[in-house]
Amino acid sequence: MQSVYIETTIPSYLTSRKSKQATLAADQEATRDWWEEQRFHFRVFTSFYTIDECSRGNPDLAAKRLSKLKGIPELELVDTLPDLEEDLIRLFHLPPKAVTDASHLGLAILHRMDYLLTWNCTHLANAVLQKELLDYCSYYGLHVPIICTPRTLIELNHD
């Protein structure tokens, strides 16, 4: 069974009010579809970073996000993670507000996750950055997770 790392945007899309923007509403629906119908076909993991980010903000909304993560195993922090995070921050030119994206990706790499599921298409599910990641991981002999959205993973699972 393949593994999926759940990043913060997934519980956020699952619990947010339906958007009035058609594209965002469709993304929310795809997330719900994957969560309700596809998630059980995978070994699903999350991390301290996802839980920490989901805990922030409005307490009622945070509780809803955290309820979606209940029972999902957390990946252990790895000694080599800080060095990998630094490299990923430099490689992707991550701004200070996005450095946790390097933590999510670093854990997915080090724990050899098959997929990193996200709606963060700026710093994670971005074809240009994924090419950089592939080159970096190939050079250092590291695992490369497939970084994708729920819609893509639904499509992949139906083929």
Residue 124's pLDDT is 84
Q: Has residue 79 got a pLDDT over 90?
A: yes
75: confidence class by pLDDT, cuts 50, 70, 90: very high
87: confidence class by pLDDT, cuts 50, 70, 90: very high
Of 3.20.20.100, 3.30.70.3420, 3.40.50.1010, 3.40.50.620, which CATH number belongs to 3-158?
Answer: 3.40.50.1010
Contact between 11 and 150 (Cβ < 8 Å): no
Residue 158's pLDDT is 54
Annotated domain spans of the chain: 3-158
Residue 125's pLDDT is 83
User: How many angstroms separate the first and last alpha carbons of the chain?
Assistant: 16
Angle at 103 between CA 99 and CA 107, to 5 degrees: 165
User: What is the Cα–Cα distance from 103 to 98, expressed in whole angstroms?
Assistant: 10
Residue 111's pLDDT is 98
Contact between 35 and 14 (Cβ < 8 Å): yes
Q: Has residue 159 got a pLDDT over 70?
A: no
Helix axes 150-158, 22-33, angle to 10 degrees: 50
Provide DSSP, 25-63. HHHHHHHHHIIIIIGGGSEEEB-HHHHHHHTSS-HHHHH
Q: Between 10 and 124, whose confidence is greater?
A: 10
156: confidence class by pLDDT, cuts 50, 70, 90: low
pLDDT tens, residue by residue, 25-46: 999 999 999 999 999 999 999 9
